[in-house]
């Protein structure tokens, strides 16, 4: 049986060997430990600084850390205005040497149109999360560079697998056969995305697209709905986020496509907080979901989204076999077996279609042409330490 490491056991788990070495003792083997620790968002905190800010009301310093930093990273936070901006200044004592950019200002610009305009005007050097249409325009513009990687994002429509009619796998499969992926790739993504062919990120070890069989096949979809006892289709609801133009365009295309098989979809444009609240509580039958698993390991990814014991299995997908395979892979050090088990997990998932599989939208970062040193990392898209201006 897997043992859980409790907070009070941490002191015993970590042993100082010398000034540069720490030994960690854990109750079970973990093939993920080294992969987790290399993530740039899991930095070590300065214990002396932390102890200065501990209080009886905040014994772990969580409240203080919400607006301050105590890390050994390349930058330190010198200003934090929630919803407006955050300013980082270079840590001159960073062990890899001080970063080339001495100050980085992150400014909140809620609409991509404003970010695009600021980049074009030279008011900002970097613009993130522009729309595919905007990126296509920038590709023809002098003075701007668009950096692209396919990365680890997965964009999909999740269905509440415990809510009729989505408790029937044939219904879920039918919707996948109704998606006009070629049309979406051109009209929405401007050919910057690739179809998602597995629940595992396509760039991660153990990924396979062997079990992806979906095409735009209306007759196949109608036959599956008939087998599910819904020859005339059904009514449902699809939620997407206010202000997300891409999801709105996708929603309109899917509504039209699903209607061809008698599936009448009500589109609900909701504030992000409202949408998240509804799908975490299982109160909306279909909704857009875009996420990335930050650790390049198939068992880690599967555990997040497909293990029914996971807090973020929002689609309520459940398979006893999938749960057992994932739990085994989380502690097994037999890599051949882990890969075989994760291949079986992908097979079961694709055969049961807990989601409407859409696209890997990729990750794109637009910069002024004099900004160099772009590099992409799995946890956060990019790393600012490598950036510099010429």
pLDDT 10s digits, 20-42: 888 888 877 888 888 887 777 77
**What is the percent of the chain with per-residue pLDDT over 90, rounded to a whole number?**
67
Q: How many angstroms separate the Cα of 314 from the Cα of each of 193, 219, 279, 317? A: 24, 30, 7, 8
pLDDT of residue 6: 58
pLDDT of residue 10: 64
pLDDT tens for each residue of 54-99:
999 999 999 998 888 788 888 888 888 888 899 999 988 888 898 8
Look up the pTM and report it. 0.87
State the distance between the two ends of the chain, measured CA to CA, in whole angstroms. Answer: 56
- Yes or no: say if 158 and 176 are a contact pair by the CB < 8 Å rule: no
- What residues are paired with 371 via a beta bridge? 389
Residue 379 CA to residue 38 CA, distance in Å, equals: 10
- Tally of residues, the chain: 390
Whether the pLDDT of residue 142 is over 70: the answer is yes
pLDDT of residue 1: 38
């Amino acid at each position: 049986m897997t043992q859980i490491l409790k907070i009070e056991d941490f002191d015993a788990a970590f042993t100082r060997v010398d000034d540069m070495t720490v030994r960690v003792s854990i109750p079970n083997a973990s093939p993920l430990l080294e992969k987790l620790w290399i993530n740039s968002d899991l930095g070590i905190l300065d214990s002396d600084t932390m102890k200065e800010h501990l209080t009886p009301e905040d014994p772990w310093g969580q409240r203080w850390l919400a607006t301050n930093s105590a890390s050994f990273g390349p930058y330190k936070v010198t200003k934090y205005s929630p919803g407006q901006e955050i300013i980082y200044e270079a840590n001159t004592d960073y062990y890899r040497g001080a970063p080339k950019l001495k100050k980085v200002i992150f400014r909140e610009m809620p609409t991509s149109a404003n970010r695009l305009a600021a980049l074009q005007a030279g008011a900002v050097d970097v613009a993130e999360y522009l729309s595919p249409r905007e990126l296509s325009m920038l590709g023809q513009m002098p003075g701007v560079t668009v950096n692209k990687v396919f990365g680890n994002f997965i964009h999909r429509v999740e269905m509440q697998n415990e809510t009729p009619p989505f408790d029937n796998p044939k219904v879920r499969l039918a919707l996948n056969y109704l998606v006009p992926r070629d049309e979406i790739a051109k009209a929405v993504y401007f050919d910057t995305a690739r179809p998602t062919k597995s629940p595992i990120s396509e760039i991660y070890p153990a990924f396979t697209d062997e079990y992806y069989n979906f095409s735009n096949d209306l007759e196949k979809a109608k036959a599956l709905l008939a087998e599910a006892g819904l020859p005339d289709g059904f009514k449902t609801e699809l939620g997407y986020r206010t202000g997300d133009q891409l999801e709105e365009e996708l929603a309109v295309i899917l509504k039209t496509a699903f209607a061809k098989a008698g599936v009448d979809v009500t589109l609900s444009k909701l504030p992000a907080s409202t949408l998240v609240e509804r799908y975490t509580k299982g109160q909306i039958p279909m909704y857009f979901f875009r996420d990335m698993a930050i650790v390049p390991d198939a068992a880690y990814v599967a555990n997040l989204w497909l293990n029914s014991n996971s807090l973020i299995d929002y689609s309520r997908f459940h398979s006893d076999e999938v749960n057992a395979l994932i739990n085994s892979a989380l502690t097994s050090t037999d890599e051949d077996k882990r890969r075989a088990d994760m291949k079986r997990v992908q097979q079961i998932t694709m055969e049961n279609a807990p989601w409407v599989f859409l696209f890997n939208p990729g990750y794109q970062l637009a910069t002024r042409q004099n900004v160099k040193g772009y590099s992409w990392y799995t946890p956060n898209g990019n790393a600012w330490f490598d950036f510099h201006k010429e």
